[in-house]
Amino acid sequence: MRRCTACGTETEANDAVCAQCGGSLETVGAPETPATGYGPPEGPPPPPPQGAPGSLPPASFGTPGGYTQPPGYAPPPGYAPPPGYIPPQGYGAGPGGPSSQYGTLADWGTRALGYLIDFALLFVLIIVGIILGRVTVALQLLVDLVVFAAGVYLAVQVGQTGQSPGMRVMGLKCIGTRTGQPIGGGLGFVRAIAHFVDSIICYVGWLFPLWDAQRQTLADKIMNTIVVVVPKQGLSLTPPKT
Query: Given the rule CB under 8 A, which residues bind another protein?
Result: 33, 35-37, 86, 89, 93, 97-98, 107-108, 199-204, 207, 210-216, 221
Count the residues in the chain: 242
- Looking at the Cβ atoms of 73 and 203, the one nearer to another protein is 203
Minimum CB separation from another protein for residue 87, in Å?
Answer: 11
Minimum CB separation from another protein for residue 193, in Å?
Answer: 14
- Looking at the Cβ atoms of 126 and 197, the one nearer to another protein is 197
- Looking at the Cβ atoms of 36 and 160, the one nearer to another protein is 36
Minimum CB separation from another protein for residue 98, in Å?
Answer: 6
What number of other Cβ atoms are within 10 A of residue 237's Cβ? Answer: 12
Element (H, E) at 151: helix 137-161
Minimum CB separation from another protein for residue 186, in Å?
Answer: 24
Distance (Å, whole) CA 145 – CA 131: 15
The SS3 call for residue 225 is: strand
The vertex-107 CA angle with 101 and 112, nearest 5°, equals 130
What number of other Cβ atoms are within 10 A of residue 211's Cβ? Answer: 8
- Looking at the Cβ atoms of 144 and 212, the one nearer to another protein is 212
Give CA torsion, residues 172, 106, 60, 205, to 10 deg. Answer: -120
Distance (Å, whole) CA 19 – CA 33: 17
Q: Do residues 222 and 193 make contact, with C-beta atoms less than 8 angstroms apart?
A: no
Minimum CB separation from another protein for residue 28, in Å?
Answer: 14
- Looking at the Cβ atoms of 140 and 217, the one nearer to another protein is 217
- Looking at the Cβ atoms of 93 and 116, the one nearer to another protein is 93
First to last CA, the chain: 37
Distance (Å, whole) CA 186 – CA 183: 8
Minimum CB separation from another protein for residue 142, in Å?
Answer: 26
